[in-house]
Amino acid sequence: MYKIKKVLNHNSVIAVDTDALVEYLIMGKGVGFGMKPTQELPINPEYRLFSLAESSDRGTVKEIVKHVDPIFLEIAEAVLEHAEANFDHVDHNIVFPMADHLEYAAKRIEAKEEISNPLLNDIKILFHAEYKSAEIVRPLLHDKFNLNISDDEIGYVALHIHSATSSDKLAQSIETAQAVRNCISQIEAITQKSISVESLSYNRMMNHIRYMVARIQKSEPLKVNMNDYVLTAFPQSFEIAKSICEELSNSLGAPFDQLEIGYLAMHIERVKADVMDT
């Protein structure tokens, strides 16, 4: 049996499971309408229950719920429900850090202090489905607050969705996008030409780095050694790849297989070749 402890708004309440003596955030359309503390709450199968005993990177769920405006929890949950149409699995516990992020984003927009997202173009390609799902936040924020959220902010929401739909943590998703951006920046500096994010070689390199990050995290080795050949044939690309691998290893806090250098260098060389041919 659940009893109301606090009504947050019409669509969210804090209730106590009187059998297990555990507090929950319960979200659902009309769940709090007309309800008062100590009242028994009938549980609708469509309601979403979150234990306040859980914790996240931003702190305990209980602390986040205490400080975040409930409307942003509703918006974040609506984003995740929308994402369910495009993904097999969505971890709704991401609702808390996402709501926290959206509230700060709204404050930045109101204060005209919007931040830029240097990884935006990479996120749009690397996490294309997530970005498309995140765009639902645009009409939601506009309807509730008459705020216009930028593509840069939506890019960060897309990273939260990626964390909710995969085993990757938010920091890992950012590291992947940052590694791609570092590669591109170094190649552009060498060739003195801009690289199209729509090119096939760019997309291949991006996906390679994405899986390379996963291999580093899981300590998965490669089987074929291309290092000697690549070092001799493409020394410049080899050095870029070595630098990127070392940066990734340090940021992820895990050693990388030295054979990763040669594979990444081959992708870098393809991108360089495409740029020089244009």
- Is residue 270 within a helix (H) or strand (E), and if so which, with residue range? helix 260-277
Task: Record the tokens describing residue 133, joined without a space.
Answer: 């799902």
Superfamily for the 55-166 domain: PRD domain (1.10.1790.10)
- For 41, phi and psi rounded to 5 degrees? -115, 115
The size of the chain, in residues, is 278
Following DSSP, what letter does each residue of 94-109 receive, concatenated?
Answer: GHHHHHHHHHHHHHHH
Region 91-98: mean pLDDT is 89
CA distances to 38, 42, 74, 260 from 29, rounded to whole Å, are: 20, 13, 10, 50
Structural contact between residues 199 and 244, judged by C-beta atoms closer than 8 angstroms? no
Residue type for 129, please? A
Residue 161: other Cβ atoms inside 10 A:
28
Query: pLDDT, tens digit, for every residue of 18-39?
Result: 888 888 999 998 999 999 999 9
- Identify the band that residue 57 occupies on the pLDDT scale cut at 50, 70 and 90: low
Conformational region of residue 117, where left means phi above 0, alpha means psi within -120 to 50, and beta covers everything else = beta
- For 36, phi and psi rounded to 5 degrees? -135, 155
pLDDT at 276 over 70: no
- Identify the band that residue 56 occupies on the pLDDT scale cut at 50, 70 and 90: low
Query: pLDDT, tens digit, for every residue of 136-149?
Result: 999 999 999 999 99
Which residues, 6+ apart, have CB-to-CB distance to 25 below 8 Å?
8, 12, 13, 14, 49, 50, 52, 61, 65, 73
Can 1-53 and 55-166 be said to share one CATH topology? Answer: no
* CA dist., res. 127 & res. 111, Å (int): 29
Q: Quote the pLDDT of residue 59.
A: 63
pLDDT at 14 over 80: yes
pLDDT at 94 over 80: yes
CATH topology of domain 172-277: PTS-regulatory domain, PRD (1.10.1790)
Q: Quote the pLDDT of residue 195.
A: 77
* CA dist., res. 69 & res. 24, Å (int): 16
Superfamily for the 1-53 domain: CAT RNA-binding domain (2.30.24.10)
Domain boundaries, the chain: 1-53, 55-166, 172-277
Q: What stretches of 68-199 show up as alpha helix (H) in DSSP?
A: 70-83, 95-110, 120-126, 128-134, 137-145, 151-165, 170-191
Task: Record the tokens describing residue 166, joined without a space.
Answer: 């995969």
Report pTM: 0.75
Query: pLDDT, tens digit, for every residue of 69-91?
Result: 999 999 999 999 999 999 989 99
